[in-house]
């Protein structure tokens, strides 16, 4: 194996890891900070968790709700979650600009009063300029703080990756949202180890090559004396 081939393999391994690696999975719980105690519900303009920044998607109505649970007519899962009432919207992206994929999300209806099955439109703006939309619909089953399970875990399609940002627009309101699972692709540990091993081999070969050349030159000059 020559040095150029080894270098090419090392680069291919790293870039292959970037595309096919496991990446980092982030579980966004919306549990804070800041804390949102049970029995409370507030309007938010910004919320940050695990590097992901949430704001309103609309410039005029730049808000969304955050509920601490423990309110009889709102959905319940024992933790804090986000809500989109009329005039609410949501936009999220990594503060450091990392591209990401959406894996799954827990969704519930807005309340026992607005208890119709909620269809939530997630509009993904991909890094290549294309746009992908997933419309996720809840089961319409909600009893607030009663025994029934209000939230469901719903999966995103395989198209929801390589995203710069995601928006739930103003017209897609009447939802409750928790436990968003997001992943960031990155080189896997195995591919990094293999790549660094190949790089070491390249440098060692170059060093030994240089060393052999020096020895040969010394022998030749000794023979000429």
**Applying CB under 5 A, which residues contact Ca ion?**
29-31, 79-81, 108, 138-139, 141-142, 150, 178
Which residue minimizes CB distance to Ca ion?
79
Q: Contact 136/129 with Cβ under 8 angstroms?
A: no
Q: Considering the complex, state which of residue 44 and residue 202 has its C-beta at the smaller distance from Ca ion.
A: 44
Least gap, CB of 80 to Ca ion (angstroms): 5
Phi, psi of 5 (to 5 degrees): -65, -40
d(CA 160, CA 106): 16
Of the pair 11, 141, the CB lying nearest Ca ion is at: 141
CB of 140 to Ca ion, least distance (A): 6
Tell me the closest approach of the beta carbon of residue 139 to Ca ion, in angstroms: 5
Nearer to Ca ion, 48 or 141 (CB): 141
Nearest approach in angstroms of CB 40 to Ca ion is: 14
CB closer to Ca ion out of 102 and 142: 142
Report the candidate in 207, 204, 199, 140 with the shortest Cα–Cα distance to residue 175: 140
Residue environment code for 68-95, b if the CB has 16+ CB neighbours within 10 A, otherwise e: bbbbeebbbeebbbbbbbeebbbbbbbe
């Amino acid at each position: 194996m020559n040095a150029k081939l080894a270098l090419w393999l090392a680069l291919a391994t790293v870039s292959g890891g970037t595309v096919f690696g496991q990446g980092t999975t982030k579980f966004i719980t919306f549990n804070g900070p800041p804390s949102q105690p049970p029995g409370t519900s507030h309007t938010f303009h910004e919320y940050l968790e695990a590097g992901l920044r949430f704001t309103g998607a609309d410039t005029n109505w730049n808000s969304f709700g955050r509920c601490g649970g423990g309110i009889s007519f709102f959905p319940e899962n024992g933790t804090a979650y986000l809500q989109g009432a009329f005039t609410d919207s949501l936009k999220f992206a990594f503060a450091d600009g990392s591209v990401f994929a959406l894996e799954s999300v827990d969704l519930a209806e807005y309340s026992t009063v607005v208890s119709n099955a909620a269809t939530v439109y997630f509009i993904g703006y991909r890094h290549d300029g294309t746009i992908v939309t997933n419309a996720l619909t809840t089961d319409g089953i909600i009893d607030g703080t009663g025994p029934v399970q209000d939230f469901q875990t719903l999966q995103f399609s395989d198209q929801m990756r390589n995203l710069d940002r995601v928006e739930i627009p103003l017209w897609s309101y009447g939802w409750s949202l928790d436990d968003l699972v997001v992943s960031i692709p990155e080189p896997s540990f195995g591919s990094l180890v293999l790549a660094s091993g190949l790089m070491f081999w390249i440098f060692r070969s170059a060093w030994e090559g240089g060393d052999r050349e020096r020895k040969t030159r010394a022998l030749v000059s000794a023979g000429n004396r």
